[in-house]
Structure 1
C-alpha cells in the first residue's frame, strides 16, 4: 500500500477524534454551558448533519480542484473551526463551529476516500478504504479516551485544542507528500456520476451504510451516561471503556480489510447477524460490568468491520462515479450518525432510559438485515466483482 495512504489516515484520525470525542465530553459540556445532556449530545448530530450536507456539496465544489488543494483547504478550515470552538463560551457558537468543521471534514473525507482508491489497483479498494477508516478507529482507541481524559483533567476545551494541534502536522504532510492528482477536467460530470450512484446496487449499499452506522452511533453517543447510570461504573472508568470500543473498532476494520476485497458477502452476512444479536444482548445485560466490557469490545469490532466493508462496496459498485462515490459514502455514513443519536435520545427519554439507545441500535440492524434480504431476493447485488489477491 502506498505510504501516502497512512498520511491521509493521520488526518482522518484527527477528524475522527473530533467527531467521536463528544461521547465522553457530553456531561462536561452540558454542565459548563448550562444546557441539557440531550442538547449537548445534539452537537454530535449537528456534526453529522454537516457531514451529510457537506459531503456532496464540498465534493462538487472541489470537483475541478486538484486533489491536494482540496485536501489542504478542507483540513485548514477544519483546524480553524476547532480553535474557534475551544475559545467560545456560547452554545450557539459552539454549535456553529461544529457544523463548519463537519462541512470541512466531509469534503476532506470524500476527497481522501477517492484519492485512496485511485492510488491502488482496481481490486484493492477494500484494503485502501480500511487504511483510511483505520484512522477513525485509532481515534476511538486513543483519541476519544484521550479526549475524555483531557476533559476530566483540564476541561472539555482542551480536547478541542488537541484536535487542532493534531491537524497541523497533517497539513504539512499533505503539502509535502500528497501528489497533486490527475487533471480534474478528465473526471466524468456531476450528472453522470449521480446516475451511477442511483443505480440499484450502489443505492442499496449506501442505505445499508446509513443503517449500520446509525446503530453504531446511536449506542456510542450514549455510552458514557449508560456506563454511569445503568452499569454503575465511575466516571474515571469511562475513558477505559471507550478505549475498549475503539480497540474493537480497530481490530474490526483491520481484519475486514483483508476480506472486503475477496469475501465481502460472507463477512456482511455473518457480521450483520452477529450485530443484531449483540445489540439485543447488550440492552438486556447493560447492568453487568463484565458483560458490558465484553460486548463493547465485540460490538466495536463488528460495527466497523461491517461498516468499512459496505463503504468499499460502494466504490466497487459505482465505478462510474470516481469522484462522487467518496462523497456519497461519507454522506450515507453520516446520515446514520445524525439519525442514530436523535433516535437514541428519543428512546432514552421515553421510558427505557439509557438502555433505550441499545434497543434502537438492534432495531436499525434488523432493518438493515431486512433490506439486504429483499435486495438479495431481487437479485440487486448480483455477482461480486472478480478480484485477485493483492500484496502489500
Structure 2
C-alpha cells in the first residue's frame, strides 16, 4: 500500500523519510553544516544507550562567538546533562510522573478535552491544533508545574518563535543572518526565563503543592538549586511537556484520516487506539532529531567519527529503517511490539520522562474525538501545515470537517 503524502502538503525538504526514501548509508558527514548525521535504527539505538561516548552537553563544542549567553540557558537544562548530574536532577521530578500520578490525571484530561471541544460546539469545522491538540497538553503541564494555564497563548507565541527557523543545525554558518536568528531565539528564551523566574521567586516565599515549588525546595548534593537552574529546568518541562503531545495528537488524527481503513477499525475497536498512537509516533515522529557530541573517536557503522563532533540522530529516519521495520513506509498499528521498538521518545537515560503522560493524553483525547465526531475528516482544498523546523515532524494547523 502506498503511503506517499499528498503533493500539496508542504514538508521540509530534509525529511526524506516522509517520501519513502532511505539513505544508502546509515552515517553521513555534511561538511557544509559541520555535522555527522545518523539515520539507521540500530546505530541510533546504540548511540542513545552510550552516554559515556556520546554526550548530551552539545553546547560545549559551539564557537564562543556563536554560544554567547547560551551558557546561561544550559544550567539546569535536563536535556543538556550527562551522568551523574543528569541522574540526580531527573530524580527530582520522577515522582511527578509515576504510573499512579499519571493514571490519576485521566479524569482531568477527559474533563479538559470535553471543555475544549464544547467551546467549538455548533461549528461545522474544527482546527484541531488550536482547538484541542495545543491547549490540552499545555493546560495539563501548566497545572502540574503551577503556572497559570490562562497564559498558554503567551507560551505558544514564544514556542512558535523559538522553533520558527527552517534551517538545519549548522556549526559552519557564521553569517550575520545566522547570528540574528540565534539572537531572536535567545530573546524569546529570556522571556520564558523572566516569566518563570517571577513564579519561582513567589514560590520561595509561598510554596505550594506543585512542581515549581518542589524545584525551589529541592536539594542536590545538599545544595539548593540556583534560580537559573530552577527556571531552565522548569522551561524544559513546560516546553517538552506539551509540544510532543501536541504533535502526537495532530499526527495521530492525521494518520487516521490518511488511512481510512484504520480509521474504521479503530472506531469499531478502541483497543486498537493505543497501538495506532504508537504507529503514528513511528510514522510521523514528533521530534525528528536529537543531538549528541562525541567524547572520543568512535566507529559507527564502519565510519570513524572523531572526538568533539556534533552528531545528529535522525530518529524519524531510524523509525523508517527497513532493517528494523518491515515495510517501514506502511502505516500498520499491528506491528509487533511497536511501543518498545520505535525511538520517538528517545531511549536510554534521556528517554522522555513524560512519555506515559503523552500516551495517556493521546488515548483519552482521540477516544473522545472519535465518540463526539463520527465523520471527522480533513477538508478538501484545505491542506494541513507542518512545523517549519526540520527537527520536528508535526502538523501546525489541521482543519477538519465535523
Same fold (TM over 0.5): no
Q: Which has the higher helix share?
A: 1
Structure of greater Rg:
2
After TM superposition, the score normalised by the length of structure 1 is: 0.33
Q: Which has the higher strand share?
A: 2
